[in-house]
Structure formats: C-alpha cells, structure tokens
Amino acid sequence: MKTRLTLKVRPGARQTAFAGKLGDAWKLQVAAPPVDGKANEAIVRFLAKLAGVPTSGVRIVSGFTGSMKIVELEGISAEALERVIVGSNEPRANSGSAAAREA
C-alpha cells in the first residue's frame, strides 16, 4: 500500500517536528537547511522513522525545491500515518519534572 502526504515545509527550524495543519497539508518544521537537498533528506529520514518504514519506502514525488511537497510512503495506510503524525504532536510526560514528582 502507498500513502501520499502533502507537506508545507519550513526548513531551518530548531527541531524537526510537525506543527499542525494548513488546509489538507501538514506543516512540517525541518531542522536541516534548504541547501544541497539536506532538508529533503531530513524529511525522508524523519518520516521513515516516524512511520516505521525503511527510508527506501519514502520518496518525495513533487516539490523538490519548493516548500509544498507531496511525499509517498510505502507500507503504511493513510489512517495509520495520520495517527502517528497526531501522536507525534502530543506532549510527552517528563518523569523528571517537578509536576510528575508531585503527582
């Protein structure tokens, strides 16, 4: 199965992470700079790790040099991909925080 994902990419961010939605597209902040394909490589690695698929199963099919990209992922359904993206935005509990110790 192949799933397509539309991204609005902002390179040069502090960290690579999703930052919500813009219409049908997911906003993705990428830590890598937009130089020599580094941001595209970072997008492929990030999505592969997040979706649990090999990097060879992720390819940018449109928007190589632009901020709007269409990415195709092999081996994950659209529903499962949506769940992992939404799950990646949820705040994680920090067991070392004062609030966690007091709870």
Residue 3 half-sphere exposure, CB side, CA atoms within 13 Å?
A: 15
Residue 69, strand partner residues: 7
pLDDT at residue 20 above 90?
yes
Which pTM was predicted? 0.84
The order of strands in the sheet holding 17-22 is 17-22, 25-30, 2-11, 68-74, 58-62
Amino acid 91: pLDDT? 64
The structural architecture, per CATH, of the domain 2-77 is: 2-Layer Sandwich (3.30)
DSSP-based three-state secondary structure for 38: helix
Give me the residue spans of the domains in the chain.
Answer: 2-77
pLDDT digits (tens, 9 = 90+) for 25-79: 999 999 999 999 999 999 999 999 999 999 999 999 999 999 999 999 999 999 9
